[in-house]
Chains A and B, each alone.
Chain A
C-alpha cells in the first residue's frame, strides 16, 4: 500500500506513538531505569533522566558505568526494533498497538556489545541516539552515542551486534 498523503496528521502520530509505546512499555527494566524515547518522525532519542540510584561513584559523583552501558544497549535494541517495524507500519501492513497488543513485540538479542567510555557521567540527564549500520535478515550491526549537556562532547559510544527475531 502506498503512503497516503491525505492521512490525517493526528492519526499518523497516534499510530507511530502507539507502535513505539508497544516496543518500550513492555520492558520492566526500561521503566525501572526511567528511560523514555522522544520521537521526531522516525528519529528516536533515548532519554535517561537523572536519578540517585544510577550513581556508581558517590564521591565525584558519577553515573555507574554499567548504567551507561545499559542505556546505550537499550537504545540500540529499541532503535533496531523500531527501524525494522517502521516500514511495515508505514505501509499499513502490521501495526503493533500498545493498547490492544496481547504479547509484546519480539526484540533483537544482543550478541556482543562494546562500550567506549569517553567521559565520566555527570549527575544529570543523559541522551542517546543509535544508528543501524547494517541490518540483514539474521544479524545487525548498530552504533550508539550518548551525551549529556553537549551533543558534541560524548559521554560514551558503543557498537554492538544483534540477532534479529525470526518469524
Chain B
C-alpha cells in the first residue's frame, strides 16, 4: 500500500479499501475504511448475527473486536509517513470497557504514535454509536519490514 504525498485523501482511502478487500478475513467481516491519515486509520464493521458471542444479549464476540482492532492498527502502521513495506503484529492488548450495543456499527480508530526502524507502536479505541463511551481500547507493537 503505497501512500504518496501527492495522492488525495479519497485516492488513499480507495487504495486502502482495495487493500482491505484483498484480505479474506477483512472481507468476511465486511470491514470498511472510513479514513486514513499520517499514521492514523479509521475502520468500521457492521453488526452481524454470526458474529454474536453472547446469544442472550446479541453482543458481538470480543474476538471480533480484536480482529477489527488488529486490522485497524496494522493499517495505521502502513499509513505512517515512514511507510514500511509490510507489518505484522508482535503484541496486542485489548481492554474491554463495555459491550458494544446490538445492531450498531463498531468503529476503530488507530494511531501509530511512534516508529523506530524495526518496531511500530500503536494505540486504538473502538466505538459504537455512543461515541462518548468507548467499547474497547488497544495498545500494540508491530513489526516494521523495510
Chain A residues proximal to chain B, CB less than 8 Å: 26-29, 31-33, 52-58, 62, 64-67, 69-71, 73-74, 103-104, 106-107, 109-117, 120
Among B56, B63, B93, B96, residue most surrounded by chain A Cβ atoms (within 10 Å): B63
CA distance A116 to B94 in the complex (A): 12
Q: Closest Cβ of chain B: how far from A25's Cβ, in Å?
A: 10
| Segment 38-81 of B: residues with Cβ below 8 Å from A | 49-56, 60-64, 66-71, 74
Q: Is the CB of A56 within 8 A of B91?
A: no
Q: Closest Cβ of chain B: how far from A46's Cβ, in Å?
A: 12
CA distance A56 to B71 in the complex (A): 9
Q: Is the CB of A109 within 8 A of B96?
A: yes
Nearest opposing residue in chain B for A63, CB measure: B25
Q: How many residues of B contact A (CB 8 A)?
A: 38
Q: Is the CB of B96 within 8 A of A110?
A: yes
Nearest opposing residue in chain B for A31, CB measure: B50
The contact of A104 among B56, B63, B64, B92, by CB within 8 Å, is B56
Q: Is the CB of B92 within 8 A of A65?
A: yes
Query: For chain A, what secondary structure do more than half of its interface residues adopt (helix, strand, loop), or is it mixed?
Result: mixed
Nearest opposing residue in chain B for A29, CB measure: B61
Nearest opposing residue in chain A for B71, CB measure: A66
8 further interface pairs, Cβ-Cβ under 8 Å (given A104-B56, A113-B66, A115-B89):
A26-B55, A27-B52, A29-B64, A55-B24, A56-B23, A57-B88, A114-B92, A115-B91
Q: Closest Cβ of chain B: how far from A66's Cβ, in Å?
A: 3
The contact of B25 among A29, A66, A107, by CB within 8 Å, is A66
Nearest opposing residue in chain A for B50, CB measure: A32
Q: Is the CB of B25 within 8 A of A53?
A: yes
Provide a sorted-by-A list of 22 A–B residue pairs whose CB atoms are within 8 angstroms: A26-B55, A27-B53, A31-B50, A33-B63, A56-B71, A64-B24, A65-B89, A66-B63, A66-B68, A66-B70, A67-B63, A71-B63, A73-B61, A73-B66, A104-B56, A106-B56, A109-B96, A112-B94, A113-B93, A114-B92, A116-B90, A117-B88
CA distance A74 to B66 in the complex (A): 11
Once A32-B51, A66-B63 are accepted as A-B contacts, the answer to whether A53 and B28 lie under 8 Å apart by CB is yes
10 closest A-B pairs (Cβ-Cβ)?
A70-B63, A66-B67, A64-B25, A69-B66, A29-B61, A53-B28, A66-B70, A114-B93, A32-B50, A65-B89
The contact of A74 among B28, B61, B92, by CB within 8 Å, is B61
CA distance A58 to B23 in the complex (A): 6
**Cβ contacts under 8 Å, A74 to chain B:** 61, 63
CA distance A69 to B25 in the complex (A): 13
CA distance A123 to B95 in the complex (A): 29
Q: Closest Cβ of chain A: how far from B63's Cβ, in Å?
A: 2
CA distance A33 to B89 in the complex (A): 21
